[in-house]
Copies of this chain bind each other. A is one copy, B any other.
Amino acid sequence: MAKIYGFKFVLVLVLSILINLFFLFDHFVYKDTELSWSKAAAREAELVASISCSGHGRAYLDGIPFQGEPICECNSCYGGKDCSEVLTECLADADSGDPLFLEPFWMQHAASSAVVVAGWHRMSYRFDDYSSISEELEKHIRQLHAVIGNAVTDGRFILFGAGSTQLLNAALFGLSLDDSPSPANIVASIPFYPLYEAQTKYFNSMEFKWKGNASLWKNRSDSSGTFVEFVTSPNNPDGRLMKQVLKGPSSKTIFDHAYYWPHFSAIPTAADEDLMIFTLSKLTGHAGSRFGWAFVRDENIYKRMQMYISLSSMSVSRDTQLRALKLLKVVLKENGKDLFEFGPKTMRNRWERISRSFSSSKRFSFRNLSLNIAIIFKISQDHHQRLLTYSWPSAAYAWIKCERAEDQDCNAVLKTASIIGRGGSIFNAESRYVRLSLIKSQDDFDLLIQNIDALVSKEGGVAYI
């Protein structure tokens, strides 16, 4: 009995000791691969991320703290400590092009998109090769264009800027600074993104002069000097794929391709222009990061643009470049499968939803892109087919027209229904037009649709332009 008793005991004891050994091993070997200096920062970030804001807001690491913790920053029309309160009498704000529709994507890809910036990360003015751009980031950007097929990047210099904004400035100077004694004439086709005019006028440089609508200069004489045309394609506000209006040896074009991604457009061909500008804002949704890039064919123009960047901010923040690289690595996984399913799908759904809302309206016309893009779809190359099916049809903005004679100020009409749009006059178009942003948060979009439905339900009929 004692023997059996002892045997069982020995067995249990040996087992227990084995388990102890396992834990001991686990504890110490595991600890060896544990984190050291990055741990506190990681914990801090996860703690902030775990603050519940009811799905209608989020807390940020650099948020304003209340009792030691950053407070929730709520989406518009939500309030309260945890953003759970719906604010009444709140306007549906569809004004800005804030690309928050992509925020859920990054929350879903938390692990792969996080980045740890060490205190000593790239303190220098220069990279190791004396440039101020990350070679790795450049490589990933070129690869992305090859995968999506939206731009030919071979044989072109690349420039980084603080968003497309800084690069548009750089291009303006880069193309205007030539040996010509008279200032370059700067133009764009109506409706156009208002920054072009605003920056040209603010700088008030002897190198260029704002000359308004491009079409007015189609039949200009050869002595009119150099023309620089801003072309946004797809266009902001109306989503159309655009070509330059002015041609000939004295005209140069700045192609702003901020929206030339499958989220907002079909990609019929790879853009192959001399000067093309892209931005992270509308690709990954990181508008706050201020990161863009330009491809430039001509070396002299590239150098003049580089001089502009250098004199205006030296270069683009390394912190931003590091983060952009991490984000693009996520984007490029499986040839862009995840982002270019999420983005175009979300935008198509929104586009269909808002089309439906306006479909019964005679008072408001809604530019339907489907026909346009269906044709493009057919001529497109095979390997873009998957992306195209998603982006058919969609656009970043709805460009609405008020059809009634008395509704001359369309924005004011929408305002009566608690909708804030961006009036046509801002884009140099008639006030009869309004741009409604479809790329903001889901909360913003839902409220927009709710208010449109209420407005449209007061009348009847269909009108397409």
Contacts and interface: CB of A to CB of B under 8 A. Distances in A.
Interface of A: 1-2, 5-6, 9-10, 12-13, 16-17, 19-20, 23-24, 26-27, 35-46, 49, 58, 60-65, 73-74, 96-100, 102-103, 106-107, 109-128, 134-137, 161-163, 165-166, 169, 173, 195, 198-199, 202-207, 281, 285-291, 307-308, 311-323, 325-327, 330
A315 B39 CA distance: 31
Contacts of A326: 41, 119
Given A9-B13, A114-B37, A116-B116, A311 B202 contact: yes
Contacts of A125: 96-98, 281, 287-288
A290 B311 contact: no
B35 A42 contact: yes
A25 to B, nearest CB: 10
Contacts of A198: 311
A137 to B, nearest CB: 7
A291 B37 CA distance: 25
Contacts of A115: 41, 45, 61, 116-117
B43 A35 contact: yes
A340 to B, nearest CB: 17
A26 B122 CA distance: 38
Interface of A, secondary structure class, is helix
B330 A287 contact: no
A114 B40 contact: yes
Nearest to A292: B313
Contact of A119 (B109, B162, B307, B312): B109
A262 B136 CA distance: 37
Given A205-B204, A318-B288, A319-B319, A119 B123 contact: no
A166 B123 contact: no
A123 B20 contact: no
A289 B319 contact: yes
Contacts of A287: 123-125
